[in-house]
Amino acid sequence: MSDALKTTPLESLHRSLGARMVAFAGYAMPLHYPAGIVSEHRHCRAKASLFDVSHMGQGVLRGEGAAAALERLTPADVQALKPGRQRYALLTAPDGGILDDFMVANRGDHLFLVVNAVCKEADFDHIAAHLPASVALERLDDRALVALQGPAAEAVMRRLGGTEAALLPFMGVADVTLAGIPASVSRSGYTGEDGFEISVAAGEAEALARAILADPDVAPAGLGARDSLRLEAGLCLFGSDIDRTTSPVEAGLVWTIGKRRRAAWDFPGAERVRAELESGPRRLRVGLRPEGRAPARAGTPILAADGTALGEVTSGGFSPTLSAPVAMGYVPPGFAAEGTAVELLVRGKPLPARVCPIPFVPHRYRR
């Protein structure tokens, strides 16, 4: 593996656990551990798994008018976000394309941001370039981020001394102490399961991760299981299911646009979003259930029954939970209804599939 790759504060822990390391977003990251992707996936659905997501970008916005400043770059209603609450949001371009998706939390005297690893440099540069003099962006490159996900996650947090974290509602945030280590916790994740994302000082990350992994209900999990879990949950991956060419309407993410923002239409890309809401988009993200057991990977052409090209698969694989292949992709609105028959061109062979609802596996967030 190239020496040029960055590492997370948990690099030595991953190697001690026998992780298979791969290059991802410029970092050396664990793809899986000796148990394997399917085992890690199933453990997360049954108990709890710990993921290293320290490659993500963490940052803070401080100053008078920080929420209003961020709203110049996103359709989300940031100013309505109450202290102790977090929200999923999009950075949109003037033409309505999606620059990235991110999380924003109101921490009282500042906003806490988490952006995708693959474009964190561009995101932070973009945000900083559009801030007024009264607001400053501070990158938190000295912090790690881990995700504890699964139905046993709440009980694990309690056993670590994180009672306050265990009481958080979905998308709640708080500063807590876990195993004697200060951390910032949100009740959120990328698996469809209940769980927590935990921001901790880089120097304390390995000690905290080892304390979490010492719990008998917790096992480590890598990028492979993280991807199969999020696919089952119907969650978008930036660069695959959403990107600079995709609008929030096409992606089925209109719910991220605040009601007040839809009344004012004052966010980047508002003209395109409004036109698509009124007249319909040219394509829509849908779920797909291929027949048989052959998975349709990203880039697989989606065809009508008569062979007409409709679009392509953006994410696809085999679902360990359903023991069947699942996929997401874009098709014209006339082919987006549940049950619509399509064909997926896998290795040159058309395989029958049907449009189905997303998520493939129901979410189990704590409401």
Question: What CATH number did the domain enclosing 17 receive?
Answer: 3.30.1360.120
Question: 104-145 pLDDT, tens per residue?
Answer: 999 999 999 999 999 999 999 999 999 999 999 999 999 999
Is 90 a domain residue?
Answer: no
Q: Which residues span the domain enclosing 320?
A: 282-356
CB within 8 Å of 264: residues ≥ 6 apart: none
CB within 8 Å of 62: residues ≥ 6 apart: 109, 110, 111, 135, 136, 138
190 and 327 in one domain? no
159 and 26 in one domain? yes
CB contact at 8 A, 221 and 347 = no
Is 68 a domain residue?
Answer: no
Q: Which of 173, 208, 232 is the last residue of a domain?
A: 232
The count of structural domains within the chain is 2
- What local confidence, expressed as pLDDT, does residue 367 receive? 84
Is 266 a domain residue?
Answer: no
DSSP 156-219: HHHHTT-HHHHTPPTTBEEEEEETTEEEEEES--SSSSSEEEEEEEGGGHHHHHHHHHTSTTEE
Q: Which of 194, 209, 232 is the last residue of a domain?
A: 232
Is 241 a domain residue?
Answer: no
Is 177 a domain residue?
Answer: yes
324 and 223 in one domain? no
Question: What CATH number did the domain enclosing 351 receive?
Answer: 2.40.30.110
49 and 190 in one domain? yes
Question: 238-296 pLDDT, tens per residue?
Answer: 999 999 999 999 999 999 999 999 999 999 999 999 999 999 999 999 999 999 999 99
Structure tokens at 91: 């950075």
User: Does pLDDT of 1 surpass 70?
Assistant: no
Is 365 a domain residue?
Answer: no
Is 270 a domain residue?
Answer: no
Angle (deg, nearest 10), helices 37-46 and 223-232: 50
- What local confidence, expressed as pLDDT, does residue 327 receive? 98
332 and 209 in one domain? no
**Stretch 336-358: mean pLDDT, rounded?**
97
Is 310 a domain residue?
Answer: yes
Question: 216-245 pLDDT, tens per residue?
Answer: 999 999 999 999 999 999 999 999 999 999
User: Does pLDDT of 3 surpass 70?
Assistant: no
CB within 8 Å of 278: residues ≥ 6 apart: none
H-helix or E-strand spanning residue 274 = helix 270-279
151 and 294 in one domain? no
Question: 135-174 pLDDT, tens per residue?
Answer: 999 999 999 999 999 999 999 999 999 999 999 999 999 9
147 and 224 in one domain? yes
Q: Which of 205, 232, 259 is the last residue of a domain?
A: 232
Structure tokens at 142: 């000295």
Question: 43-90 pLDDT, tens per residue?
Answer: 999 999 999 999 999 999 999 999 999 999 999 999 999 999 999 999
Determine phi and psi for 346, rounding to 5 degrees: -100, 115
